Amino acid sequence: MYLRKYPLRFAFVFLVLLAGLLYSVAFLFYIQIFRSSFLAGLARRQHEHSVVLEPTRGTIYDRNLRPLAINLPVYSIFANARMLNKHHDRDAIVARLAGIIKMDPALLLSKLGNDKYFVWVARKLPQDVYERVEEAKLPGIGFIKESKRFYPNKTLAAHLIGFAGLDNIGLEGLERDYDRYLKGQEGSLVIMRDAHQRELLLEKGYIAPVDGADLVLTIDETIQFIAERALENMYRKYNAKGASIIVLDPRTGEILAFANRPTYNLEEPGKSPTESRVDRAIVFTYEPGSVFKIVTAAAALQEEVVKETDVINCEHGAYRVANHILHDHEPEGLLTFRQVIERSSNIGTVKVAQRLGPQRVYNYAHHFRFGIRTGIDLPGEAMGYLKPVRLWSKTSIGAVPIGQEVTVTALQLAGAIAAIANNGIYMRPYVVGYVRDARGQIIKEGKPIILDKIMTQRTSLRLRSILQGVVDNGTGKKARIPGVTVGGKTGTAQKVVAGAYSHAHFYATFAGFAPVGHPRLAAVVVFDEPHPAYYGGTVAAPVFQEVVANTLKYLNARGVSK
């Protein structure tokens, strides 16, 4: 009866209800089909928190598994900015947190302005700072456990090791060059939260991180310390612009110590000037001067153009080569070839080189790896420069054999003197012994590699005897070690300044080995612009003496086989 009495009202209500139902169905359909992904993602962001699980960066060890670079656990602070911005005491919380972590409150507020669920506040805090923040129990503030790179010895082997940044990514040195092994693989974890953004300790989607591999070097931490201490003392004593030292096992090419000056603190690299971080031993090239005479001597003996007892007229200190007058640092008359090398006569050496001819001088220098890279497993190695014979001038035969018109690195000199010590066999120098993964499996290994056979064993023995005379009787007397036979060669080279040889700026070098009969060590010491003394025999030879003497004692004490 009621329906018949009010048919229009009923129809209207029915249509309204029907329209509402259809709208609701259509809206639900729209949400389900077109907005489901967005809303599901919004729900996930509100109730799920994805955390990146950082792997532990691999440790860098010396040859005896003493850590040179290691990661230790630290804590980082994050904020739920959306939650914190709604808190009635936000300003007080920000002020207190800023005071603890020593941050400008305005900067902290700007970080929270993103209004996100996760905002980094401070990364990798010192332990005492983390503990103070944790004790404060500040709402909206959380912690994530990460790891931070530490260098226990601060500056030791700095140019070799390099450093990693805040995110454990290698930025220089071996840290950068072997980053793909050291860094590992990130993992992840999803943590559930309730509507009040409280973590429920419910986890899902866990992917475990894979820790980085370890790097085991050929460097010996003790020998490295011995070398750096001696280099530092002489670097300061003679006010040098720079210095380098390389100590290696000539039988294998393994580098035992490798250092430069100036240096820097690996834990605070940003506080040092860029020049302090340059690896001078493999990047800087220079004219080596008389130390390069080992190449001419090796070629002359191997090619049998001269004998040790052959007498050479050194012209009393002045000898014309084309339109140039060549001088000795001290006038000499008649000298045997042995004495020519012992006393470092330029004239005597050039006369022998003239017997060899330009091509053979060049060939032997090339075999000694001058003008080409040694292939060491370090980034940035320079080639130096060895002028092809077709580019030699009429005076080049009076320059190249005595270390002019050619540029070298300290590493190339180290490889050359090591080859003489190793019966003429040139071994590739290397610093990485092996790489091992988290399970201890070796995944990459450095091995001794022969690069060239430069001379016979007989020639090597003859040349080593001559170089022993340099130390016993000649310019290298300050490299003598009591009870140990030492061979080597000094070098004092004028630097080229404004296109001319300077009379005030020099490189001082000593390259040597010991013991002479069965060399266990070879080493090169180079100083850039030492003063007031600048001779290789005065500045560089004493460093060699101290380092090799103490290293031999150390090796004998450890029972290392001869």
Q: For 194-243, write each residue's pLDDT tens digit.
A: 555 454 444 456 677 888 999 999 999 999 999 999 999 999 999 999 99
Domain boundary among 101, 126, 150: 150
- Domain boundary among the residues 150, 173, 205 is at 150
Whether 67 is covered by a domain: the verdict is no
* Other residues' Cβ atoms within 10 Å of the Cβ of residue 83: 18
Q: So what's the pLDDT on residue 309?
A: 96
Is residue 62 one of the residues assigned to a domain? Answer: no
pLDDT at residue 17 above 50?
A: yes
448 preceded by cis ω (within 30°)?
A: no
Q: Mean pLDDT for the chain?
A: 88
Specify the pLDDT at position 202.
44
- As a three-state string, the secondary structure of 331-397 is CCCEEEHHHHHHCCCHHHHHHHHHHHCHHHHHHHHHHCCCCCCCCCCCCCCCCCEECCHHHCCCCHH
**Type and span of the H or E element at 96:** helix 90-101
Report the distance separating Cα 70 and Cα 97, nearest Å: 30
CATH number reported for the structural domain that contains residue 383 in this entry: 3.40.710.10
Are residue 233 and residue 100 in the same domain, yes or no?
no
For residues 518 and 461, the answer to whether their CB atoms sit within 8 Å is no
Q: For residues 255 and 117, state if they share a domain.
A: no
Residue 15 lies in a domain: no
146 and 249 part of one domain: no
356-390 confidence digits (pLDDT tens): 999 999 999 999 999 999 999 998 899 999 999 99
Looking at residue 169, its amino acid is: I
Any domain includes 187: no
Residues 444, 364, single domain; the answer is: yes
**Over 90: is that where the pLDDT of 38 sits?**
no
Are both 366 and 515 inside the same structural domain?
yes
Same domain for 355 and 499, yes or no, is yes
Do 233 and 118 share a structural domain?
no
Whether residue 46 is predicted with pLDDT greater than 90 in this model: the reply is no
Determine which helix (DSSP H) or strand (DSSP E) holds 8, and give its type and residue range.
Answer: helix 7-34
Tally of domains within the chain? 2
Q: How far is the C-alpha of 441 from the C-alpha of 243, rounded, in Å?
A: 38
318 pLDDT more than 80 = yes
| 275 within a domain of the structure (yes/no) | yes
At 462-497, the pLDDT tens digits run 999 999 999 999 999 999 999 999 999 999 999 988
Whether 127 and 225 share a structural domain: no
**538 and 414 housed in the same domain:** yes
Q: Which domain holds residue 310?
A: 221-557
Is residue 127 domain-shared with residue 232, that is, in the same domain?
no
For residues 330 and 429, membership in a common domain is answered with yes
Q: Is residue 24 part of a domain?
A: no
C-alpha separations of 350 from 79, 226, 353, 403, 427 in Å? 74, 37, 5, 11, 28
| pLDDT given for residue 180 in this prediction | 94
Higher-confidence position of 209 and 323: 323
pLDDT given for residue 287 in this prediction: 96
Among the candidates 150, 174, 189, a domain finishes at 150
Decide if pLDDT at 447 tops 90.
Answer: yes
125 pLDDT more than 60: yes
Query: CATH number of the domain that 104 lies in?
Result: 3.90.1310.10
In degrees and rounded to multiples of 5, residue 355 shows phi and psi of -65, -35
Looking at the predicted structure, is the pLDDT value of residue 417 above 50? yes
Confidence of residue 424 (pLDDT cuts 50, 70, 90): very high
* Any domain includes 95: yes
Q: What is the pLDDT of residue 31?
A: 62
Mean pLDDT of 264-288: 94
Q: What is the pLDDT of residue 200?
A: 41
pLDDT band at residue 136 under the 50/70/90 scheme: confident
More confident: 25 or 164: 164
| Statement to judge: residues 260 and 399 lie in one domain | yes
Q: Is the pLDDT of residue 446 over 80?
A: yes
Dihedral of the alpha carbons of 412, 415, 419, 422, in degrees to the nearest 10: 170
pTM over 0.75: yes
**Would 209 be classed as within a structural domain?**
no
